[in-house]
Amino acid sequence: MPSRGLGMWGEDLVARELARQGLKILARNHRTREGEIDLIAQEGPCLVIVEVKTRRGLRFGAPEEALTRGKKARLIALAEAYVAEVGWQGPWRIDVVGVQVDGRGHLTSFNWLRSAVEGG
């Protein structure tokens, strides 16, 4: 599975699982002036900006470990741009979901970090 296909597969998986757990998926791959947001969901009164990290194996560490200080700042900028764009007045948070698959493409880990990035 090519990297882009793997990323889209991970986003599909995460969208289904979040919906199964009661979140309403509002948008996927939403573009703002700051870049692209993987998933936008709502959990009760809270807007949830979701960054999906999908990796094959542990060669480069767990998927959620890819969140550098710069990446966190970018996620906050993306979230703030979306909130301003739609005029969101309620609470919001940024979640990160790490998805890991083995060499055959089988799911080996699903790690949902709620409020993983502070800023909302």
Q: What are the tens digits of pLDDT across the range 52-76?
A: 998 876 666 666 667 788 989 999 9
CB-count exposure of residue 36 (10 Å: 0-12, 13-18, 19+):
exposed
Rounded to whole angstroms, the Cα distance separating 25 from 16 reads 9
119 pLDDT tier (thresholds 50, 70, 90): low
3-state secondary structure 1-15: CCHHHHHHHHHHHHH
Q: What are the tens digits of pLDDT across the range 99-110?
A: 988 877 778 888
Q: What are the tens digits of pLDDT across the range 71-96?
A: 899 999 999 999 999 999 999 999 99
Q: Which domains does the chain have, with CATH numbers?
A: 3-117 (3.40.1350.10)
Rounded to whole angstroms, the Cα distance separating 35 from 18 reads 22
Q: What are the tens digits of pLDDT across the range 13-48?
A: 999 999 999 999 999 999 988 899 999 999 999 999
pLDDT of 23 reads 98
pLDDT of 104 reads 77
